[in-house]
């Protein structure tokens, strides 16, 4: 009886001591759990504040304040130049340009990574099979055959996996918008290169035409020198002016060839692929003795602008930057959830037997069910540091978005200023070129009659060449201003095509095999 009491007393004391030791331990574990669930710094979803003007400061009075519903459509803006060859080059670049193809591949990659994140929310199922033969002390211990299915699922209690999926969705939309931005940029680059080519060809035609006139004058000067009507000074001046004009020809031909090379590469072809195509009409005109150069394409001045806010919504780079902010925001939530406990439910169902035939016996069925929780207790501060890193990345994305908005507004205003300035400049240069042409013609006629000296002819010819060259250059600049304005206004990219671009890069089962 006494021994029984002592035993019971010892058991009671042991249980009391265990409770006393267990309670502080449980309190410590509970404290760690609560502390791990707390965020280092609560995420603040601050709205992006940026003052967007209500109208363009440099827009024409007729276009200022025009409702967005009445704004001109920029879809396939390159057709506004009425140049079939330009339209053909842009269409070819959209299909074969290397940057466009790379952006499409990046979009497919973003779609695949998004699907990887989506798979994390679903249960996993696997299968296994094995056969083994064992020995002990040189004697066979028999065979063992196993086959089974394993299943596991991690409930997304704190939303970490959903945040990863949200980040993948935002990144996918950003990639689709980036593809649109690349397409807009390539179309503009093709148009600018094509205009540069036509401008250089026009300047070459002007230089060759003036050179022919100067050669005629030089020939007349030589005759007058032989007759003793002029001195060798006039002859040397004529030769100097002629050679200076002739020296401009290699520079222009080099520019033409390099621009053709750039256009070929933009359309995904070797540099010399477009040589014949882009010089056929130009070469034919001079072969027949008629200066029939292709004109510098000009766009109609009937563009009606939309409001700045609507323009920003039509720019793919702005949409891409906006989606990058959304992706960074989701990654902050994902990093925060990684500091909290994770749960896992798993199980297996299989067959295990000593012989292959016994696997079909009901006695060979084995099963197990497991539920577990993982709690990060100490990781050296890695989880906290990762959260701070994602918060810093979010701030970078926000500032990048603001910079994109400001750059977009600046590009439109710059294009409008350049367009207005080059229009006025071209008007004045056309008047100057007409006067210079008349002055050169009258000086040549009077020189032939001996009424003026050669210095007058020389000056008028130089003025004629300079003004005509400036007219061709300004015409090129004016057309390029239109291209830059179209690009700054969004380049015809339609935000509604965002989901279409995403759907167009669905995984190709044929390629994956």
Cβ pair 190, 140 in contact under 8 A: no
Does residue 242 sit within a domain? yes
Asked whether residue 80 is domain-assigned, the answer is yes
Phi, then psi, of 325 in degrees rounded to 5 = -65, -45
* pLDDT value at residue 479: 95
CA distance 228 to 171: 82
- pLDDT of 239 reads 87
Residues listed for the chain: 513
List, in order, residues 6 or more apart from 203 with CB less than 8 Å away. Answer: 252, 469, 472, 473
- ∠ CA 129-135-136, rounded to 5°: 135
What is the C-alpha separation between 214 and 444, in angstroms, rounded?
Answer: 10
Tokens at 164, concatenated: 């990863």
Residue 34 lies in a domain: no
Which structural domain, as residue segments, surrounds residue 100? 73-132+141-507
What pLDDT, on the 0 to 100 scale, is given for residue 196?
95
- Residues linked to residue 372 through DSSP beta bridges, in sequence order: 344
8 Å CB contact between 111 and 172:
yes
The full DSSP string for 236-304 is HHHHHHHHHHHHHHHHHHHHHHHHHHHHHHHTTS-TTTTHHHHHHHHHHHHHTT---PPPPP---S---
Q: Are 405 and 312 in contact (CB under 8 A)?
A: yes
Q: What is the CATH number of the domain that holds 123?
A: 1.20.1600.10
Residue 54 lies in a domain: no
**Does residue 1 lie within any of the structural domains?**
no
How many other β-carbons are positioned within 10 Å of the β-carbon of residue 35? 10
Question: d(Cα 411, Cα 428) in Å, to the nearest integer?
Answer: 26
Q: Strand runs (DSSP E) across 282-361, as ranges?
A: 342-353
* C-beta separation of 173 from 498 below 8 A: yes
d(CA 491, CA 309): 15
3 assigned to some structural domain: no
Q: Rounded to the nearest 5 degrees, what angle is found at the Cα of 372, between the Cα atoms of 366 and 377?
A: 150
| Residue 22, CA distances (Å) to 19, 26, 29, 134, 156 in order | 5, 6, 11, 45, 30
- 118-135 in b/e burial notation, b at 16+ Cβ within 10 A? eeeeeeeeeeeeeeeeee
Number of independent structural domains in the chain? 1
How far apart, in whole angstroms, are the C-alpha atoms of residue 265 and residue 473?
Answer: 24
CA distance to 92, 178, 196, 443, per residue, from 266 (Å)? 9, 18, 14, 47
Q: Measured between alpha carbons, how far is 183 from 76 in angstroms, rounded to an integer?
A: 11
Please give the model's pTM, rounded to 2 decimal places.
0.81
What's the pLDDT score for residue 184?
A: 94
Q: What is the pLDDT of residue 34?
A: 42
Structure-token pair, residue 29: 């574990």
- Contact between 223 and 235 under an 8 Å Cβ cutoff? The reply is no
End-to-end CA distance of the chain: 80
Strand partners, 434: none
* Angle at CA of residue 100, ends 404 and 502, nearest 5°: 75
Beta bridge partners of 347: 151, 369
In a domain, 22, yes or no: no
What are the CA-CA distances from residue 103 to residues 109, 169, 312, 400, 496 (Å)? 10, 17, 21, 20, 19
Q: What pLDDT is attached to residue 156? A: 82
Contact (Cβ atoms closer than 8 angstroms) between residue 208 and residue 264? no
pLDDT per residue as tens, the chain (513 positions) = 444 443 443 454 444 434 444 444 444 444 444 444 444 444 545 556 677 888 888 775 435 444 544 567 888 999 999 999 999 999 999 999 999 999 999 999 999 999 888 888 888 888 888 888 778 777 777 777 777 888 888 888 888 889 889 999 999 999 999 999 999 999 999 999 999 999 999 999 999 988 988 888 888 778 878 877 777 887 888 888 889 889 999 999 999 999 999 999 999 999 999 888 887 665 544 444 444 678 899 998 888 888 888 888 889 999 999 999 999 999 999 899 888 888 888 878 777 776 766 666 665 777 788 888 888 888 888 889 989 999 999 999 999 999 999 999 999 999 999 999 999 999 999 999 999 999 988 988 887 777 887 788 888 888 889 999 999 999 999 999 999 999 999 988 887 766 666 666 555 433 443
Task: State the Rg of the chain over Cα.
Answer: 39
Q: What is the largest CA-CA distance in the chain?
A: 156
Q: 11 lies in a domain?
A: no
Question: Pick from 275, 280, 277: which is nearest to 258 by CA?
Answer: 275
């Amino acid at each position: 009886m006494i021994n029984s009491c002592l035993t019971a007393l010892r058991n009671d004391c042991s249980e009391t001591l265990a409770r006393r030791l267990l309670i502080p331990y449980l309190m410590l574990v509970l404290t760690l759990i609560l502390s791990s669930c707390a965020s280092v710094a609560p995420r603040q979803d601050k709205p992006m504040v940026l003052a967007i003007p209500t109208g363009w400061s440099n827009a024409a009075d007729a276009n200022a304040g025009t409702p967005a519903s009445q704004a001109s459509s920029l879809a396939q803006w390159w057709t506004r130049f009425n140049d079939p060859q330009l339209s053909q080059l842009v269409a070819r670049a959209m299909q074969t340009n290397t940057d466009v193809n790379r952006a499409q591949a990046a979009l497919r990659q973003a779609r695949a990574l998004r699907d990887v994140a989506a798979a994390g929310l679903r249960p996993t199922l696997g299968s296994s099979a094995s056969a083994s033969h064992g020995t002990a002390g040189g004697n066979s211990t028999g065979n063992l055959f196993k086959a089974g299915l394993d299943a596991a699922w991690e409930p997304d209690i704190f939303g970490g996996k959903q945040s990863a999926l949200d980040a993948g969705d935002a990144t996918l939309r950003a990639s689709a918008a980036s593809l649109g931005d690349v397409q807009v940029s390539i179309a503009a680059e093709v148009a600018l290169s094509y205009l540069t080519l036509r401008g250089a060809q026009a300047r070459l035609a002007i230089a060759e035409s003036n050179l022919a006139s100067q050669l005629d004058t030089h020939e007349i000067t030589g005759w007058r020198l032989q007759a003793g009507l002029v001195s060798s000074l006039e002859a040397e001046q004529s030769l100097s002016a002629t050679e200076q004009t002739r020296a401009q020809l290699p520079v222009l031909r080099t520019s033409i060839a390099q621009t053709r090379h750039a256009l070929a590469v933009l359309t995904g072809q070797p540099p010399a692929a477009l040589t014949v195509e882009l010089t056929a009409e130009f070469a034919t005109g001079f072969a027949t003795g008629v200066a029939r150069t292709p004109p510098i394409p000009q766009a109609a001045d009937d563009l009606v602008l939309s409001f700045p806010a609507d323009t920003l919504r039509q720019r793919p780079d702005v949409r891409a930057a906006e989606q990058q902010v959304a992706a960074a925001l989701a990654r902050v939530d994902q990093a925060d959830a990684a500091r909290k406990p994770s749960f896992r439910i798993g199980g297996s169902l299989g067959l295990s037997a000593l012989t292959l035939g016994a696997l079909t016996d009901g006695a060979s069925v084995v099963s197990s069910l497991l539920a577990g929780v993982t709690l990060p207790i100490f990781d050296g501060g890695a989880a906290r540091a990762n959260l701070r890193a994602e918060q810093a990345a979010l701030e970078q994305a926000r500032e990048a978005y603001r910079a994109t908005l400001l750059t977009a507004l600046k590009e439109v205003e710059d294009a409008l200023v350049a367009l207005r300035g080059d229009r006025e400049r071209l008007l004045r240069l056309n008047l100057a070129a007409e006067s210079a042409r008349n002055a050169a013609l009258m000086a040549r006629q009077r020189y032939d009659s001996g009424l003026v000296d050669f210095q007058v002819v020389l000056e008028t010819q130089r003025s004629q060449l300079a003004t005509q060259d400036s007219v061709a250059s300004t015409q090129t600049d004016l057309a390029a201003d239109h291209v830059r304005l179209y690009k700054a206004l969004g380049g015809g990219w339609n935000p509604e095509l965002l989901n279409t671009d995403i759907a167009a890069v669905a995984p190709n089962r044929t390629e994956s095999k």
